[in-house]
């Protein structure tokens, strides 16, 4: 059965390019992104890993660790890192999980038999400090991810975890947000003393807290 939002992200022990880890202990008290690749030494994956490494400072600012995975052995990961640095101009600066027995891939439902029973699809799991799955995205093997979108979603998840708001379509950090319907007007006045714009009783637009 596939992981659902709100499920505890399965813990596991694995070898990585930065040494063995126990996943929950490695995450610590912050956020995490676990993402999988179909195979080492493939073109789309090479561009993705370069971009993820380039954006690592942005993940760091959000107290979010990133870690990759494929079903290839550790030695291949290390050799591939040289290709990534050569072609993308960026050294891989986060761990890559070696999962040749597909143990972790199967725990997280990263292998889809109808796509290719031997390869992981491009799965993304955003995991909160409570070790619960906050977001899942699954791409086909042929389509590269948009890491700016992953950062945008993390911004939304972190904001909405701390304030009684939701983020509207195409929201980005600093844009107006929506007061959640479960918050009454009386309670909203305490949290948003500067007021808001009511478009409908269920659609109350307010400045982003902390922006």
Residue pair 54/90 in contact by the 8 Å Cβ criterion: yes
Q: Which of 34, 45, 69, 110 is catalytic?
A: 45
pLDDT at res. 38: 83
Rounded Cα distance, 84 and 26, in Å: 24
Cα three-residue angle 145-150-156, rounded to 5 degrees: 155
Question: Does domain 163-206 bear CATH number 3.30.1020.10?
Answer: yes
Return the CATH architecture of domain 13-145.
3-Layer(aba) Sandwich (3.40)
Mean pLDDT in residue range 46-51: 96
Which residues of the chain form CATH 3.40.30.10? Answer: 13-145
What's the maximum distance between 2 C-alpha atoms anywhere in the chain? 60
3-state secondary structure of 113: coil
Distance from C-alpha of 113 to C-alpha of 118, rounded to nearest angstrom: 8
- 45 in active site: yes
Hey, what are 59's tokens?
A: 């993940």
pLDDT of residue 87: 97
pLDDT tens figures, 115-171: 665 667 789 999 999 999 999 998 887 889 999 999 999 999 999 999 999 999 999
pLDDT range class, residue 9, cuts 50, 70, 90: very high
> Would you state the pLDDT for residue 84?
95
Q: How far apart are CA 53 and CA 16, in angstroms?
A: 16
> What SS3 state is found at 179?
strand
Mean per-residue pLDDT for 88-108?
94
């Amino acid at each position: 059965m596939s992981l659902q939002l709100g499920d505890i992200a399965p813990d596991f022990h694995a070898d990585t390019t930065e040494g063995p880890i126990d996943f929950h202990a490695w995450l610590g008290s912050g956020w995490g992104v676990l993402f999988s690749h179909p195979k080492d030494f493939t073109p789309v994956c090479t561009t993705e890993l370069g971009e993820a490494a380039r954006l690592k400072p942005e993940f760091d600012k959000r107290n979010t660790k990133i870690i990759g995975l494929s079903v290839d052995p550790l030695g291949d990961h290390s050799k591939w890192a040289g290709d990534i640095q050569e072609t993308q101009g960026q050294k891989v600066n986060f761990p890559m999980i070696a999962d040749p027995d597909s143990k972790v891939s199967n725990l997280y439902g990263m292998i889809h038999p109808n796509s290719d029973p031997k390869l992981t699809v491009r799965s993304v799991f955003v995991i909160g400090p409570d070790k619960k799955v906050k977001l899942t995205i699954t791409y086909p093997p042929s389509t590269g991810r948009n890491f700016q979108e992953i950062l945008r979603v993390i911004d939304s998840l972190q904001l909405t975890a701390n304030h009684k708001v939701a983020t509207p379509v195409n929201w980005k950090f600093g844009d107006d947000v929506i007061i959640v319907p479960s918050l009454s007007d009386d309670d909203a006045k305490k949290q948003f003393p500067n007021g808001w714009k009511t478009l409908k009783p269920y659609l109350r637009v307010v400045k982003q807290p902390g922006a």
